[in-house]
Amino acid sequence: MKIVSTRTIVTCPGRNFVTVKLETDEGVWGIGDATLNGRELAVATMLDEHVLPCLIGRDPGNIEDIWQYLYRGVYWRRGAVNMTAIAAVDTALWDIKAKCAGMPLYQLLGGKSRERVLVYGHANGRDISETVEEVARYQDMGYQAIRAQTGVPGLESTYGVSNSRTSYEPADAGLPSEHVWSSERYLNHVPRLFERLRSEFGDELHLLHDVHHRLSPIEAGRLGKALEPFHLFWLEDAVAAENQAAFRLIREHTTTPLAVGEVFNSIWDCKELIEQQLVDYIRASVVHAGGISHLKRIFDFASLYHVRSGSHGATDLSPVCMGAALHLDIAIPNFGIQEYMPHNEQTDDVFPHAYSFVNGHLFPGETAGHGVDIDEKLAAKFPYKRAYLPISRLTDGTLCNW
């Protein structure tokens, strides 16, 4: 079998998505997510100009060889744009292989290790009582694990909370909007949220929280310690993780489980974090960490060190990534949890998919391949619209992590 045609499809059904489609001489095709929020056209250009032309005539069955060809063959290695492009190709190749086998992808990854995939949803409120209402609403929808975020008194906006109460979409402006941040105010407020949530909802519900890279290690230690009585499922991205050793300091101060990895693009970003057991959950994703092949390598490595998976699954990761992720989630032995933010209706229409949500869990479905397709005619009706994530500044104007 040979790859005979390739293309990149850019569409904006409410937000931008980039998708790779590979077609074979036997009429089978596969698709992969190539969306990098705020840098979409960089990946599309990487694919169109530098990656896809090399694939024509290759045997789509040789997934590992093509992965190595694109990784080692680049010479420069790693990087978000490069690894997202490789991920898209890898996902499309696995889709083709599973379709040719007439099997859902999880069968090729070793079959099911569990019946269903536990997911967590997002409850966001402008203040604590609004967040409490949202958590109740998510519980009513069947969620057994809920990430809770709240506005902070004295800050006009914060990560994870929509000012309009519609569903949260951070890439909301044609150029980056600017937000003001204060770790002091945040640190004083967040423990009050979780104290209230435990008193309202009891001990059984899994509660999670995303710090979104904003603290220093010692501040993260303080927050983890303050949250211990409320036994979180995890504290996410407590500090930026370029300096992997920084997590040791957090660990020395708290038993709150730590999760990190949504911005990672290779196993090298988390080697020390995993090997030294500095985190509990690794949150790398199919689309940003080199596809099914490389993410499986990360998860297998993590399994040696009691680190479980918890993949990123925000709405800027397309349904194609979600579908592929679920096959990996259901197959690996060290699955932890999967993030899930449902896409809007237009997006679901552009990407018909086999996965389904039932009672706080996702099921990948039994369709051959990863179970997600793209309606190219419909996709063409939603042209690309430039959109950026915000930036953050301290009250004195210093740029800090968003």
Residue located via tokens 């492009």: 85
209 included as an active-site residue = no
219 touches ligand EZ4 by CB under 6 A: no
Residue with Cβ nearer ligand EZ4 (126 or 253): 126
Residue with Cβ nearer ligand EZ4 (158 or 254): 158
Catalytic member of 209, 212, 294, 353: 212
Per CB under 6 A, contacts with ligand EZ4 among 88-117 are none
Q: Shortest Cβ distance from residue 154 to Co ion (Å)?
A: 23
319 touches ligand EZ4 by CB under 6 A: no
Binding partner at 90 among ligand EZ4, Co ion, none, C-beta below 5 to 8 Å by kind: none
Catalytic member of 71, 106, 159, 340: 159
Three-class secondary structure assignment of the chain: CCEEEEEEEEECCCCCEEEEEEEECCCCEEEEECCCCCCHHHHHHHHHHHHHHHCCCCCCCCHHHHHHHHHHCCCCCCCHHHHHHHHHHHHHHHHHHHHHHCCEHHHHCCCCCCCCEEEEEEEEECCHHHHHHHHHHHHHCCCCEEEEEECCCCCCCCCCCCCCCCCCCCCCECCCCEEEECHHHHHHHHHHHHHHHHHHHCCCCEEEEECCCECCHHHHHHHHHHHHHHCCCEEECCECCCCCCHHHHHHHHCCCCEEECCCCCCHHHCHHHHHCCCCCEECCCCCCCCHHHHHHHHHHHHHCCCCEECCCCCCCCCHHHHHHHHHHHHHCCCCCCEECCCCCHHHHHHCCECCEEECCEEECCCCCECCECCCHHHHCCCCCCCCECCEEEECCCCEECC
Considering only 134, 316, 329, 373, the residue that binds ligand EZ4 (CB under 6 A) is 316
Residue with Cβ nearer ligand EZ4 (214 or 312): 312
Q: Shortest Cβ distance from residue 389 to Co ion (Å)?
A: 12
Q: Shortest Cβ distance from residue 47 to ligand EZ4 (Å)?
A: 19
Q: Shortest Cβ distance from residue 212 to ligand EZ4 (Å)?
A: 6
State the residues that interact with Co ion by CB under 5 A. Answer: 210, 262
Give the C-alpha separation, 147 to 234, whole Å.
9
159 included as an active-site residue = yes
Per CB under 6 A, contacts with ligand EZ4 among 118-177 are 170
Determine the distance from the C-alpha atom of residue 117 to the mean position of all C-alpha atoms in its chain, rounded to a whole number: 15
- Of 126-134, 273-281, 308-316, 318-326, which segment contacts ligand EZ4 by CB under 6 A? 308-316
Q: Shortest Cβ distance from residue 385 to ligand EZ4 (Å)?
A: 16
- Of 179-187, 266-274, 310-318, 355-363, which segment contacts ligand EZ4 by CB under 6 A? 310-318
Residue with Cβ nearer ligand EZ4 (219 or 236): 236
Q: Shortest Cβ distance from residue 309 to ligand EZ4 (Å)?
A: 14
Closest CA to 22 of 70, 68, 54: 54
Alpha carbon dihedral 60, 371, 288, 33, in 10-degree steps, equals 80
Give the C-alpha separation, 57 to 43, whole Å.
22
- Of 75-83, 135-143, 293-301, 311-319, which segment contacts ligand EZ4 by CB under 6 A? 311-319
Residue with Cβ nearer Co ion (207 or 374): 207
- Of 55-63, 274-282, 285-293, 309-317, which segment contacts ligand EZ4 by CB under 6 A? 309-317
Considering only 134, 210, 219, 329, the residue that binds ligand EZ4 (CB under 6 A) is 210
Per CB under 6 A, contacts with ligand EZ4 among 322-341 are 339
- Contact residues for 29 (Cβ-Cβ < 8 A; gap 6+): 21, 22, 23, 92, 95, 96
212 touches ligand EZ4 by CB under 6 A: yes
Per CB under 6 A, contacts with ligand EZ4 among 16-45 are 37
Residue with Cβ nearer ligand EZ4 (126 or 248): 126
Binding partner at 314 among Co ion, ligand EZ4, none, C-beta below 5 to 8 Å by kind: ligand EZ4
Q: Which residues participate in catalysis according to the annotation? A: 159, 212
